[in-house]
Amino acid sequence: MTKAYFQTLLLLAFLILLNVSSFAQTKIEGIVIDTTHNNVLRSATVSVYEKGNKSVDKITLTDTYGKFFINDLGINKTYLLELRFQGFKKATREFILKKDESKNFGKIHMDFMENELEEVEVLPPVRMNGDTLEFNADAFKLDSNAVVEDLLRKLPGIVVWGDGSLTYNGKEIPNILVNGKEFFGSSKAIVLQNLAKDAVQKLQIYDKRDEKEKKENPLNVSLEMNVTLKKGKEKMYFGSLSYGRGTSKRYQQHANFNLSTGKSQYTLAYSGNNSNKYLQSTDQLLKNTSFKGVGINADFDSDFLSTGINNQHVLSGRYQYDIVGTNQVNRKHLLTSNVLSRWDNTLNKDHSTTSFLSDDNAVNNQRTNDNESHNKRRSLVAALNYTNTGGKVGNRFTNLTADADFEHISNLDNSVIFNEYNYTNEHAQNTVRNNGEYRKNRLSYSTNIDLYDVNSSPTMSMRIKNGNSFGELLTYKLKWSGSVSETQQFNEMRSAYTNADKQELNRQDHRTYDKSLKEFSQNINLSVRYLDWTLENNLSFYHTTTNDNVVNLVEDKPQINLDLTHLSRFNQLQYEPNLEKSFRLKSHYLQGRSSSSTNLTLGAGLRFYKAENRSTLDYRNLEQTFTTFLPQVRLSRYYSKSGQYYINSSLTVNYDEEYPNLDQLRPIYDNSNVAYRFFGATQLKKTQRAKATFLTSFNEQRQNGYSGNISLSYTQYRQGLTDSILFKEGQQQRYLVQIATPMPLLAVNGYLNKNYPLSKTQALNFQFNVGLNWGNKIQFIDTIKQEMGTNSQNISLKSYYTILDRYQIGWINGWNRYARHNKLSEKNNDYVSNYWTSGISMSYSLSKRWQLNSNGTSRLSYANNYKDHAFIWNMNTTYRLLPGNNLELKLSAYDLLKENKGLYINNGLTEFTQGYRNNLTQYFMLSLTYFPRKFGFK
């Protein structure tokens, strides 16, 4: 049944890919000319309306040469072509197209408006306002229940991708503001799928980078969108209230209410379930319980891959206050607070077998593990943020942000772990029972202050001034952060070790651990920039106080364990000065044709590192001092062919060093685990790391163009660390050794995105990602050297087919492969594992009220003689009630084929593990959700 169903889904996807639109391939074009001076008009608004209809059908802007092109208009319809440009009279043309007809209007002359006050201003559907692109929302007529996402699908140059990401002319828009500030959090989906289209006045798209970034990388734009609301619509509320009950005693419930009074935003949210829906933040809840519905992109649904069964409750609140209320994107003065409390109650069961991949038969080097734990976790996170950007100190612009975060965690854990060892030199069993309690309190804080030179600002173009002093041309950036925390941990452990080969090694332990850890850290970064010179200073300090009291209970009589009881104080101080100089080697600019820039950046830095540990365990007393020279060279080139594409490329070469830490040099051994011991190494040098990275990206500057990048990095380690494993009688021992032979690592990563418009209402888009890694690793097994060549491949292909407001299907494929080859052994103990996942998600709107959703995921794992396949099929249907579609009835079915068995594999350089975990299985659920919402009230 699984195979037949999956083949049906594949056939459905194939038929969609073969769908060739019957929409006529029509086209119009022309050139817009200024009548007075006979100059071309760049960025003039070109709109096409069906005669008698006020809603715009197609829209674009003229390019650098005043040209415009519009495709895919209907046939045998009377259209009006309308052209607008500020300061000029509107020009119109009426036309009708036949099938596959192309019409060239030639030069269209626009007359200068002698007295603009005589005409009432009519905003065009789209226009350039300085460097900002603006869309007039009222020019696009949609359903009364439409939201911002529906509007974006109508706008030229914008693509709403199947995974929810957003691009303009191929460039991603990662962030959306509303009236110049965050809209009830940072997730785009909260804006796109909740905010009513009728509340929107205009949409703005702009480059949000600061002056220095725009000057150095003029083509590498960082886009942001701002939604401007109509007057009075900033006062609003929206939310959702839901309850669901299912089979197998499953339940889920959530509620959130969001209120805006203009300057203030309030959110109160709650979620509870026992169906492995893991809520991490308020944003996650809001974007997954939106009015429009998340479609095929839910990330708050039952997790059939996670271990155990979790019963979770989450309560959160958020408040944001706009102090100045200017609604400007370059002037934010906000105070934001967040509180989130979580209760998790999880039952985990795990059975696994681990084989050691040595030259010998792996069957003779195995261990099995049975683990059952019951965990109760409580957490409280509170955050306070202050943001003040675009302010001024004297004649300088300044930014100021400050954050304070508090976190409290408490955890109760009861577990039983049984290990059975079947090694060549050890046949033993070990059982550990543990009751533990964990508490942690942590306060972290940070402050960022940017003070710009008199010629710069965060968002505006550079202003040229003469006669400025040296001090006035300096830009300062200060970052200060720190944290203080205290952790308390108490465990009572009972262990029993039985060795079948040597009974004298048998032992039983009853032990209590009372541990305390206090941490304190401070980090200061000061950056000073003068023209093309940048000096950075990084100073960090880290301190811990560890107080561990371990007691052995011998015949219920307490005895202090002198090997594990200790009081230790650790201090680490690190200072890094770094100087950079940028050079523009070559640049050219041809108006309306192309531009390019080649830049070289040279950097030189030093790291001064000192660490000291003072402990009542004498062998843990240690002092370390290191100094490292940190050179860096970066060569970058930017090329743009106006209106067609741009390419960014860079080559970076740097050098760094890694230092051995205390637990590698002086590890503490807890003999309750007799079968395994980590010795580390008493003498380790620093590891040298040299890295070269080449990165190039390509973007077509059009709505449905290609975009992608590729990154190649080569890293070489000298004096790298590796394992030396010995199978002694009754114990597996692990040591660290340093390898003088260079160990290389090669990585290739990239992506390619493409959107195909099949017709006016249909689109097909693809997202391809690839990650390839090759490495060389040396290790020792019973003093025998092994040189392992490793490689891994991670490849994913996502495709989405959309029929506007009707149908969406996503096909997501992923392949992960890991392989290792022993170059020095004559025996074949090579290892290869593969993990393949392929899933199809579908969302079909049977009507404006009735929607059907389904998703199926096929998972295939195989490695050497192991193979596992499972297909998880879920379905749900929703129906909306009430005039505003505010009430939703939902019926869900999960794991219809009952194939979620909890099987898994893990692979590594020396070991291979296969096992079973308890996880979620089939259930059905009926739920009811109400969406209160109103935009604009007194």
Structural domains of the chain ordered from first start? 25-116 (2.60.40.10), 329-446+468-935 (2.40.170)
Residue 380 neighbours by CB under 8 Å, 6+ apart: 339, 340, 341, 342, 406, 407, 408
List helix spans (H) across 786-849. none
* Cα 167 to Cα 188, 369, 666, distances in angstroms: 12, 48, 52
The reported pLDDT for the residue numbered 782 is: 85
* Cα 221 to Cα 185, 385, 582, 701, distances in angstroms: 24, 27, 19, 12
Residue 226 neighbours by CB under 8 Å, 6+ apart: 176, 177, 178, 179, 180, 203, 204, 206, 329
Strands 676-680 and 707-718, sheet pairing: unpaired
Contact 419, 675 (CB under 8 A): yes
Structural tokens at position 221:
């734009």
Q: Which residues does residue 146 pair with via DSSP β-bridges, in sequence order? A: none
Query: What angle is formed at CA 572 by the lines to CA 568 and CA 578, rounded to 5 degrees?
Result: 175
Residue the block writes with tokens 């009222």: 138
Residue 195 neighbours by CB under 8 Å, 6+ apart: 147, 148, 178, 183, 227, 935
- Which one, of 874, 875, 876, 878, lies nearest residue 847 by Cα? 878
The reported pLDDT for the residue numbered 131 is: 78
Q: How far apart are alpha carbons 683 and 387 in whole angstroms?
A: 48
- Which one, of 786, 790, 793, 788, lies nearest residue 770 by Cα? 793
Residue 618 neighbours by CB under 8 Å, 6+ apart: none
Could you report the per-residue pLDDT of 186-242, keeping only the tens digit for each? Answer: 888 899 989 999 999 999 998 887 666 666 666 667 889 999 999 999 999 999 999
Residue 14 neighbours by CB under 8 Å, 6+ apart: none
The reported pLDDT for the residue numbered 296 is: 67
Contact 753, 708 (CB under 8 A): yes
- Which one, of 768, 847, 771, lies nearest residue 811 by Cα? 768
At 637, give phi and psi (nearest 5°).
-140, 135
Mean pLDDT of the chain: 87
Structural tokens at position 136:
């007039």
Contact 851, 878 (CB under 8 A): yes
Contact 510, 553 (CB under 8 A): yes
Could you report the per-residue pLDDT of 343-360, keeping only the tens digit for each? Answer: 999 999 999 998 876 655
User: H or E stretch including 788?
Assistant: strand 784-803
- Which one, of 565, 561, 563, 562, lies nearest residue 548 by Cα? 565
Query: What angle is formed at CA 289 by the lines to CA 183 and CA 175, rounded to 5 degrees?
Result: 30
The reported pLDDT for the residue numbered 170 is: 75
Task: Using 50 as the pLDDT threshold, list the residues of the chain that sit under it.
Answer: 1-2, 5, 16-23, 117-118, 120, 460-467
Q: Is 354 helix (H, G, I), strand (E, B) or coil?
A: strand
The reported pLDDT for the residue numbered 20 is: 42
